[in-house]
Amino acid sequence: MIVSAPASSANLGPGFDCLALALDVPFRLRVVTGPGDGAAAGDDRFHEAEPTHPTAVAFREAGGDPALGLRWASPIPPGRGMGYSGAARVAGAYAAGLLDGLDHDEARDGAHLVASRLEGHPDNSAASAFGGFTVSVLDRVLRLEVPDEVSVIVWSPSASTSTDASRRSLPGRVLLDDAAFSVARATTWVAAIATGDLDALREACEDRLHQDVRLEARPDAREVRDHLLGRQEVLAAWLSGSGPSIAALVPGDLAPLVAGSVGGDGTVRVVDVDPRGVRVETS
């Protein structure tokens, strides 16, 4: 059995710990259930999941048999704000649920709960579990479809960021005006996706809770974000998760042109929004 869970871009600017997009960049987990079942699938190289790997921890937390072998393969870069650990944890917990006899919906819902508890916040795991655009509050997840005609550009530098260290840099209190500013823009994200009024997203990706503080520590990321927002083709651009990656929503037919304009030291990807979330691969 091979389970696939998509990467994610969380926060989307003002939606701190509650908004996320699922990205079509997979974390793939193979459960080795018997002799000869450990071979790699497709062109990916599968690695053994050590007991401390996030996918192995989540597999055990969800009741998976620790005697089973787990192997993984993924192009999601760890520590870049693309939800590597969230996708890994969702995949592990989902696989354990299926092996325990749960159906897809039960295994998916349980995987989100296990992964969000291990993550310490629900946004990444919600997107990896459910796909599309997700709003998560504690155990509740609301999901919206994203228009097919848009793509996501993700710029990632070579250096990673520690999520825990990034969180420690944030202020413990914020001004009421700043909180109101971000609440208004987070709700605009939801309304824009729900109604298809994507022209509202440029303003919706602004934030005063965390994004500016984190970008102060990464002038390279700020430069890329500002460059993308300076192009009229870009619908929205934001610090992806805790960074240092920058993500942008762009009309799909213009995505290669915009991606080609991004300079600096880093990797640029053009990816689709993943509409399905965690699943078993059928081929």
For 24-78, the pLDDT digits (tens) are 999 999 998 776 555 544 445 899 999 999 999 999 999 999 999 999 999 999 9
CATH code (residue 133): 3.30.230.10
Residue 282 domain flag:
no
**In the prediction, which pLDDT does 265 show?**
85
What DSSP element (H or E) covers 31? Answer: strand 19-32
Token pair of 54 as six digits: 């996030």
What tens digit of pLDDT does each residue of 142-173 get?
999 999 999 999 999 987 666 666 667 777 78
**In the prediction, which pLDDT does 242 show?**
86
Residue showing tokens 């990896």: 128
Q: Are residues 158 and 137 located together in one domain of the fold?
A: no
Q: Are residues 267 and 175 located together in one domain of the fold?
A: yes
- Collect all residues with Cβ–Cβ distance below 8 Å to 58 and sequence separation of at least 6: 88, 89, 90, 91, 92, 93, 96, 111, 114, 115, 118
Residue 110 domain flag:
yes
Q: Given 85, 112, 145, which residue is the final one in a domain?
A: 145
Q: Are residues 16 and 136 located together in one domain of the fold?
A: yes
**In the prediction, which pLDDT does 35 show?**
61
Token pair of 68 as six digits: 């089973």
pLDDT-based confidence at residue 263 (cuts at 50, 70, 90): confident
The parent domain of residue 59 ranges over: 2-145
CA atoms within 13 A on the CB side of 158: 2
Through-space distance between the first and last CA atoms of the chain, rounded to whole angstroms: 10
Q: Is the pLDDT of residue 139 over 80?
A: yes
**In the prediction, which pLDDT does 283 show?**
57
CATH code (residue 228): 3.30.70.890
In this structure, how many other beta carbons lie within 10 angstroms of the beta carbon of residue 128? 38
What's the total number of domains in the chain? 2
Give the integer Cα–Cα distance in Å for 221 and 225: 6
**In the prediction, which pLDDT does 36 show?**
57
Q: Are residues 51 and 117 located together in one domain of the fold?
A: yes
Q: Given 145, 180, 205, which residue is the final one in a domain?
A: 145
What tens digit of pLDDT does each residue of 70-101 get?
999 999 999 999 999 999 999 999 999 999 99
Do residues 69 and 83 make contact, with C-beta atoms less than 8 angstroms apart? no
Token pair of 157 as six digits: 């530098």
Q: Is the pLDDT of residue 202 over 70?
A: yes
The reply to whether omega before 66 is within 30° of 0 (cis) is: no
Residue showing tokens 């079509």: 24
Residue 276 domain flag:
no
Q: Tell me how far the alpha carbon of residue 6 is from its chain's centroid.
A: 7
Q: Given 125, 145, 165, which residue is the final one in a domain?
A: 145
Residue showing tokens 């993500």: 247
Nearest of 103, 128, 134, 101 to residue 114 by alpha carbon: 128
Residue 280 domain flag:
no
Q: Are residues 90 and 19 located together in one domain of the fold?
A: yes
Q: Are residues 140 and 190 located together in one domain of the fold?
A: no
CA angle 184, 241, 139 (to 5 degrees): 70
What tens digit of pLDDT does each residue of 220-251 get?
999 999 999 999 999 999 999 988 999 999 99
Mean pLDDT of the chain, nearest integer: 92
Do residues 236 and 131 make contact, with C-beta atoms less than 8 angstroms apart? no
SS3 65: coil
pLDDT-based confidence at residue 217 (cuts at 50, 70, 90): confident
Q: Is the pLDDT of residue 135 over 70?
A: yes
Q: Are residues 154 and 128 located together in one domain of the fold?
A: no
pTM (whole model) above 0.85: yes
Q: Are residues 36 and 137 located together in one domain of the fold?
A: yes
Residue 256 domain flag:
yes
